[in-house]
Structure 1
């Protein structure tokens, strides 16, 4: 049984619903230390840890990520309150993971409700922070984005959306 099948079976006794059409399931990030990665994704960003499991020696993870057979893999699925298993972390032990060098070819974009306290917590971990960017979009939305690199060098881009206050008209 695959990790996904075990997770589905553990969450429900009924068979999973099959959705037709296009569906983005989740990004899966390879990490060197799962507990250290969970400091960011669970403790700071607020993802809920749903499942942790050891990958079998014939796991598809070895094939798709081109990991050597000596790698010991542990898979973790994390959810938000609205998205089941929205992101996955796969710990790869017994293998040296090369650094992720720029230019970055992928970034994981995550909406948060309040960016500032999250960035403060990320800064406390001495991780590389990218300066913020703000812009407006009709009708009156203000977006603020700010990126950082996690412990494994993955580019994570956080954003928050606020409604701009209408300008006050002068009264006489």
Structure 2
């Protein structure tokens, strides 16, 4: 039986997938601090695409989590790698995950509690009367995250 819902053919960015050393520790940041909703946690099969895609040895044990926002289901994936150490992150950073938060002021104390040190904030304005404030931080595994909030600027 055919459905009336065609498969979308337009460009769509689904989600970043970040390799982490400790899934529970990472969830304290992404779920508890930033507000992602944990959808599920699962174990990767030995023939999972994660092994060749991330060039992981067969001896590594992989567990993954899917996280959602209110607006985007499964917006972020975290894959825990056990039994094979992750290399240190490259410098300079070669990418960042950019996440809008409702309030940087409420997130920053939580980052400090987790022992994470944000990079100095930056603000800029864009038409039509929007002010963006960005604050970058590296997660426990060295992934660069750019957190931002947006507010309406006062009109002059």
- Bucket of the pairwise TM-score, normalised by the shorter protein: over 0.9
1:127 aligns with 2:86: no
CA distance in 1, matches of 2:91, 2:7: 38
Match of 1:138 in 2: 127
CA distance in 2, matches of 1:144, 1:152: 24
| Alignment match of 1:97 (pick from 76, 86, 106) | 86
Which has the larger displacement, 19-28 or 31-40?
19-28
The RMSD of aligned alpha carbons is: 1.5
Kindly state the Cα deviation for residue 19 of structure 1 after the two structures are TM-superposed.
Answer: 1.7
1:153 aligns with 2:142: yes
Normalised TM-score (structure 2): 0.94
Secondary structure of the residue aligned to 1:50 is strand
Match of 2:58 in 1: 69
Kindly state the Cα deviation for residue 101 of structure 1 after the two structures are TM-superposed.
Answer: 2.8
Q: Which runs of 5+ in 2 are unaligned?
A: none
Normalised TM-score (structure 1): 0.85
Kindly state the Cα deviation for residue 117 of structure 1 after the two structures are TM-superposed.
Answer: 1.5
**Aligned residue runs from structure 1 range 26-105, under 5 A:** 26-105=15-94
Kindly state the Cα deviation for residue 166 of structure 1 after the two structures are TM-superposed.
Answer: 2.4
CA distance in 2, matches of 1:96, 1:26: 24
Kindly state the Cα deviation for residue 146 of structure 1 after the two structures are TM-superposed.
Answer: 0.3
Kindly state the Cα deviation for residue 102 of structure 1 after the two structures are TM-superposed.
Answer: 1.4
Match of 1:23 in 2: 12
Kindly state the Cα deviation for residue 124 of structure 1 after the two structures are TM-superposed.
Answer: 1.6
The size of the alignment, in residue pairs, is 153
CA distance in 1, matches of 2:59, 2:149: 41
Which protein has the larger Cα radius of gyration, Structure 1 or Structure 2? 1
